[in-house]
Amino acid sequence: MAMASMMKVVLGSIAFGFFWVLAVFPAVPFLPIGRTAGALLGAMLMVVFRVISPYEANEAIDLDILGLLFGTMVVSVYLERADMFKYLGKLLTWKSRGGKDLLFRVCLVSAISSALFTNDTCCILLTEFILKIARQNNLPPQPFLLALASSSNIGSAATPIGNPQNLVIAVQSKISFEKFLFGILPSMLLGVLVNGAILLCYFWKLLSIERDQEVEAEAGDLVVENEVINSHQSPHASSVNSRDFSFGIDVVTPSSLVNANSLPNSVAKDPPNENWKRFLWKICVYLVTIGMLVALFLGFNMSCTAVTAALALVVLDFKDARPCLEKVSYTLLVFFCGMFIAVHGFNKTGIPSTLWEAVERYSRIDSTGGIALLSVVILLLSNVASNVPTVLLLGSRVAASAASISATEEARAWLILAWVSTVAGNLSLLGSAANLIVCEQARRAQFYSYNLSFWSHLKFGVPSTIIVNAIGLPFIRSY
């Protein structure tokens, strides 16, 4: 694509600059309006500056991606209500054999659940469980929080519904759920194991500290009981809110960490009939979710399947759906709309195409050096511009370059883009929404708070990202 006129290039760059600055630094002093408003501002400026027309802006919004994102968020809300993540938390401690065993369980559970229920959702709902488990077992929280964030990112790479950038890739590439899964699954499993091994090397001494299990457990239970009682006696006790710093979304952490029946003056248990109704409702939620995954695996339209599953859960709930639908992150959907328009306008300037043409001949995926260079470009751009804009900017160009080799290589190029852009999120604390969610949830945890610093994450994130990416790339295949 040739460069546009100088006026369009300048104005388009200014509009995209507003979007990029506010997407990466949402609280800049000169315009602290947040990421969602920043995306809308960038989109609006693209139209006002006549870089694109209003019709082109409307066409840039991909309704398939928005439908798939909305559907998976609604399903996640109902899974939370059905205690799915509470059961996952209990699975972490079932017959646990110490800190090292627990660390690998966190890696596996967070990776698999992120692949099926999105990484951001899993980090929101599992952080406090993991903090509680670490404290009760007299273990340092840091390795387990790092395991949750990094493994969630790695695990989410395996499916089209694992994270937002994979949603974009799946819709644009038209790669089926089955081919996407089997193309990246070997790399994902190997990456989770390698990431866990790196964590063990970093924290071997901390996880090897012996303790008196009975004394520590009793002391931990006493502390928890006192804190719970004090928090409920305080007039200022309330639910903990956190903010997803990737998109400016308000989310509420689950309140199911504390069993109401263990509190003083708690209400009596539900009648048997109500318990049976809730049990049957949970079974229906799990069956609908499994049905959605099976339909995706069989190749049904991903957006329609997710929305259908969401509506099925709304109907089966048989009550006003507003409280559940209010938990959907509509600001995320609005952010995506603005981002689609801003990135489309920047593409129309011709700058991305010109830059890609400069490196395209050296980054073809039919050679080891080409794959290495392409991976470095994706990794750096994902940490500078964020992974979803990177996919929107590079996706079609990388695919077109690979398509000149063969159709199989085109599909493989999409999968490489999905793998590298997702694992790149582990490089720093600011690399992905999942990292920020874990950091903020841990800092604001109701009973067991912990501050995961930028530098403590970076010391682990840099080697982990490079090693996991390098080991996983040779195993990515298209079928």
pLDDT at res. 262? 40
Write the burial class of residue 17 (CB in 10 Å: 0-12 exposed, 13-18 middle, 19+ buried): middle
Q: Nearest-CA neighbor of 52 among 380, 290, 345, 259?
A: 345
pLDDT over 90 percentage in the chain: 43
Tell me what pLDDT residue 244 has: 37
| Cα dihedral across residues 29, 33, 34, 36: positive or negative | negative
31 secondary structure, DSSP code: -
Closest listed residue to residue 77, CA positions, set 128, 22, 118: 118
Q: What is the pLDDT of residues 25-51, one digit of tens each?
A: 777 788 888 888 999 999 999 999 999
pLDDT of 100 over the 70 cut: yes
Q: What is the pLDDT of residues 394-415, one digit of tens each?
A: 999 999 999 988 888 999 999 9
What confidence score (pLDDT) does residue 281 get?
92
Contact in structure between 384 and 44 (CB atoms under 8 Å):
no
Mean of all residue pLDDT scores within the chain: 82
Give dist(CA 157, CA 417) in Å, integer.
Answer: 10
Query: Lowest mean pLDDT: which of 125-129, 176-180, 303-307, 351-355?
Result: 125-129
Checking if the pLDDT of 238 tops 90, the result is: no
Torsion sign (Cα): 416, 419, 421, 423: negative
pLDDT level of residue 18 (50, 70, 90 thresholds): very high
pLDDT surpasses 90 at 452:
no
Tokens of 364: 């073809």
Res 254: pLDDT: 39
Phi (first) and psi of residue 103, to 5 degrees? -60, -45
Lowest mean pLDDT among 86-100, 219-233, 320-334: 219-233
CB 336 within 8 A of CB 65: yes
Choice between 99 and 201, residue whose per-residue pLDDT is larger: 201
Of residues 89 and 17, more confidence is placed in 17
Tokens for 167, please give them: 């949603």
Task: Check pLDDT > 80 for residue 149.
Answer: yes
Q: Reply yes or no on whether the pLDDT at 269 is more than 90.
A: no
The rounded distance, in Å, linking the Cα atoms of 433 and 382 is: 12
pLDDT, residue 224, reads 40
**Spatial separation of the C-alpha atoms in residues 203 and 218, rounded to whole Å:** 25
What local confidence, expressed as pLDDT, does residue 22 receive? Answer: 86
pLDDT of residue 245: 34
Of 82-86, 261-265, 464-468, which range is least confident?
261-265
Q: pLDDT tier at 209 (50, 70, 90 boundaries)?
A: low
Q: Distance of CA 299 to CAs 68, 102, 302, 331, Å?
A: 14, 36, 8, 29
In angstroms, the CA 293 to CA 219 distance is 43
At residue 370, the pLDDT reads 92
Residue 424 vs residue 129, higher pLDDT: 424
